[in-house]
């Protein structure tokens, strides 16, 4: 089984609020349609989710408890999800929506519970579940953001995915020179310099956080751009492939 992340910046126009990158989304849908393996798709929020999250001060740690804010953020994400489903259906992909707000929650420590048996059953029945960055109920905080990256790592573990793909706006993880794509990473120290030092952190889904999360997975994960999506789904390892030690 493959868990595929379609970056929000890949399928939307990042600088124009609630605007699809229709051409990119169609290319992604066509690539997915050619894939013969069991597949779960997760897409990010891009210009649909992020402006609303920012407006309401919502992040993975800062909650929103006004139902108007929750409605605005969640509706923007389900709207983008509906566009993704439409383009997948146009390519005859048996895609079905799975909204994380309906399934998951965080406890008071911020630990995420995201049930996956419904996703597994859908895949077993021949469907392609399509999840998305969203809000989830968070004990003591109302609701907080659940990023697409968090969903990918949670599902890759619980579904015991064979491979993880992160389709991004960059061709892979770049070396310190900023030009060469690293073919493989097996430890954070390999790329600490390139990513801003071993203390590098980012809460907004930047590359240092992605690499750390993907290193912790039990399955290999590739980071690549849309040009390489078909190659990845064909079984190749384009861009940067991250092999954790777990």
According to CB under 8 A, which one of 51, 97, 206, 220 is a site residue for a second copy?
A: 97
Q: If binding is defined by CB under 8 A, does position 137 make contact with a second copy?
A: yes
First to last CA, the chain: 18
Q: If binding is defined by CB under 8 A, does position 102 make contact with a second copy?
A: yes
Count residues binding a second copy (CB under 8 A): 40
Cα separation values, 77 from 36, 160, 165, Å: 27, 26, 21
Q: If binding is defined by CB under 8 A, does position 138 make contact with a second copy?
A: yes
Query: Nearest distance from residue 220's CB to a second copy, in Å?
Result: 27
Whether the CB-CB separation of 181 and 239 falls below 8 Å is answered with yes
In angstroms, the CA 124 to CA 45 distance is 27
Q: Which is nearer to a second copy, 66 or 234 (CB)?
A: 66
Q: If binding is defined by CB under 8 A, does position 111 make contact with a second copy?
A: no
Q: If binding is defined by CB under 8 A, does position 94 make contact with a second copy?
A: yes
Instruction: Provide the 8-state DSSP code for 97.
Output: E
According to CB under 8 A, which one of 101, 221, 223, 232 is a site residue for a second copy?
A: 101
Indicate the Cα dihedral angle 218, 219, 224, 230, nearest 10°: -160
In angstroms, the CA 210 to CA 166 distance is 9
Q: If binding is defined by CB under 8 A, does position 67 make contact with a second copy?
A: yes
In angstroms, the CA 175 to CA 11 distance is 25
Q: Which is nearer to a second copy, 77 or 211 (CB)?
A: 77
Residues interacting with a second copy, by CB under 8 A?
A: 65, 67-68, 70-71, 74, 85, 89, 94-107, 113, 115, 117-118, 121-122, 124-127, 136-143
């Amino acid at each position: 089984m493959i868990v595929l992340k379609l970056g929000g910046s890949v399928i939307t126009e990042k600088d124009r609020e609630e605007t699809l990158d229709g051409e990119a989304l169609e290319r992604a849908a066509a690539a997915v349609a050619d894939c013969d393996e069991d597949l779960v798709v997760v897409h990010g929020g891009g210009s649909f989710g992020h402006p609303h999250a920012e407006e309401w001060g919502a992040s993975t740690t800062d909650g929103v408890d006004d139902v108007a804010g929750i409605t605005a953020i969640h509706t923007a994400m389900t709207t983008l999800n509906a566009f993704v489903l439409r383009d997948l259906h146009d390519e005859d992909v048996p895609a079905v929506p799975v909204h994380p707000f309906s399934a998951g929650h965080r406890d008071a420590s911020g630990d995420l519970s995201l049930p996956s048996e419904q996703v597994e059953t859908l895949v077993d029945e021949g469907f392609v579940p399509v999840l998305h960055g969203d809000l989830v109920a968070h004990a003591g905080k109302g609701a907080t953001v659940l990023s697409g990256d968090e969903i990918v790592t949670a599902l890759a573990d619980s579904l015991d995915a064979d491979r993880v793909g992160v389709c991004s706006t960059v061709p892979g993880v770049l070396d310190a020179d900023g030009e060469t794509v690293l073919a493989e990473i097996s430890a954070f120290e390999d790329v600490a310099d390139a990513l801003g030092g071993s203390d590098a952190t980012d809460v907004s889904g930047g590359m240092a956080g992605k690499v750390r999360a993907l290193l912790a997975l039990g399955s290999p994960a590739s980071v690549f751009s849309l040009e390489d999506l078909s190659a990845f789904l064909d079984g190749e390892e384009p861009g940067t492939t991250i092999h954790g030690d777990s």
